[in-house]
Amino acid sequence: MGIGDKFQVDEIISKFKVGDDDFDYKPFGSGHINDTFLVFDNQHGEADEATQRKYLLQRINHEVFRDVDGLMRNMNLVTTRLQSELGKSEEMDFTTVRIIPAHDDKLYYLDSWGNYWRMQTFIPNSTTYDRVTSEKQAFEAGYAFGKFQLLLENIDVNSLKETIPDFHNMEYRFKNFEAALQKDAVSRKASVEKEILFALARQEEMENLYEQVKNVKVPIRITHNDTKFNNVLLDKHTHKAICVIDLDTVMPGVIWYDFGDSIRTIVNTADEDEVDLAKIEVDINFFEAFTQGYLQETALLLTELEVNQLAFSSRYMTFIMGLRFLTDYLSGDVYYKTKHEHQNLQRARAQFKLVSQMERKSNEMEEIVLKTYHHFTDHSVSSE
């Protein structure tokens, strides 16, 4: 049975303002939380990119996102702002998804089983990749998330709800981890001693960074908070970044979350759940290319403290993902979708290995950040 068979997807599609073509659908993407379907009209062949009508339909995981109404209002605010900002500039390369409302004009549809559904536009001629294979891709990803940051700069941070409270709060993540250890719900603790020690050995330095967020030493901005490489759409032909997707966690946050979580996937020479840890390395050229794209857009916004911890934020975000995967493994895989029994453990191990590799390259990463930052800021002063 396919994932779509569980739901009456045809009927759900008809609840949205997509016109009355005959639509078909299929599962789409590799998200760990929501269920995603590509919806396409049957009149035009799939090869016919120019004329085929396509949308993305998603069932929002409301166990994870407790306030779907708030989430969709956030998304509406952000996509509307992006549209109006992009409308002002000549930069036609960059775009945003739009929400397709339901027939009653609501931003989502609640079915009779209590599932929340939303429909959005599908950006034609676009593609995503889980892994970076060229410096150009890394640069484009940096450009995309930097541009996203810049375009949302003037939204009042208080106008957006926190869709998942404490999402990147290290203290909170450690509390959950400790609770999972205590409970050891599925008796896996004994088998992950090494990973537990790895996490505890880094608790202090990780919580120290979060202290700066807690004590509001660093500006609270609108951030994306899930900036993996596969959340950037690249144009199939020009290979340029054209859109940032997966806006569920766009909410108040700090710059470190976005920079760091991007680097986690950008520099990794292997998959997020790679079993062969020897394959996991940091590609420093991809780090540099991403940083160039990102700082080209954002350097003038950033405070000294933000810049000084950018390189470390890569470790922070990679570590927090490892800790969350490990916590979920200890809890019996209750949060992330998994394809097999040990996938969360593989993910945790792979993320921790990547943290170790970043530790080895930390000086290099710091130098690159500073050099790139000065390149963009010094230049702007001397050209005035």
| Residues forming the site for ligand GN1 (CB under 6 A) | 31-33, 64, 226, 228, 246, 249, 272, 321
Residue 64: name its binding partner from Mg ion, ligand GN1, none (Cβ under 5 to 8 Å by kind).
Answer: ligand GN1
246 vs 297 by CB, closer to Mg ion? 246
In angstroms, rounded to a whole number, what is the distance separating the alpha carbons of residues 213 and 172? 13
Residue 226 interacts with Mg ion (CB under 5 A)?
A: yes
249 vs 268 by CB, closer to ligand GN1? 249
Nearest distance, CB of residue 381 and ligand GN1, angstroms: 37
Question: 53: helix, coil or strand?
Answer: coil
272 vs 288 by CB, closer to ligand GN1? 272
Nearest distance, CB of residue 170 and ligand GN1, angstroms: 14
Nearest distance, CB of residue 141 and ligand GN1, angstroms: 15
Nearest distance, CB of residue 62 and ligand GN1, angstroms: 12
Residue 274: name its binding partner from Mg ion, ligand GN1, none (Cβ under 5 to 8 Å by kind).
Answer: none
Size of the chain in residues: 384
Contact between residue 144 and residue 227 where contact means Cβ atoms under 8 Å apart: no
DSSP string computed for 316-376: HHHHHHHHHHHHHHHHTS-SS--SSTTHHHHHHHHHHHHHHHHHHTHHHHHHHHHHHHHHH
Nearest distance, CB of residue 214 and ligand GN1, angstroms: 20
Nearest distance, CB of residue 56 and ligand GN1, angstroms: 13
Residue 35 interacts with Mg ion (CB under 5 A)?
A: no
246 vs 274 by CB, closer to ligand GN1? 246
Strand 54-60 versus strand 109-110 pairing type: unpaired
Report the residue number whose CB is nearest to Mg ion: 226
In angstroms, rounded to a whole number, what is the distance separating the alpha carbons of residues 175 and 326? 13
Question: 207: helix, coil or strand?
Answer: helix
In angstroms, rounded to a whole number, what is the distance separating the alpha carbons of residues 76 and 339? 32
4 vs 31 by CB, closer to ligand GN1? 31
Contact between residue 349 and residue 196 where contact means Cβ atoms under 8 Å apart: no
Nearest distance, CB of residue 320 and ligand GN1, angstroms: 9
List the interface residues with Mg ion, window 231-270 (CB under 5 A): 246
Question: Between vectors from CA 70 to CA 64 and to CA 76, what angle results, nearest 5°?
Answer: 115
Tell the burial category of 345 from Cβ atoms under 10 Å away from its Cβ (0-12, 13-18, 19+). Answer: buried
Residue 321: name its binding partner from ligand GN1, Mg ion, none (Cβ under 5 to 8 Å by kind).
Answer: ligand GN1
Contact residues toward Mg ion (CB under 5 A) are: 226, 246
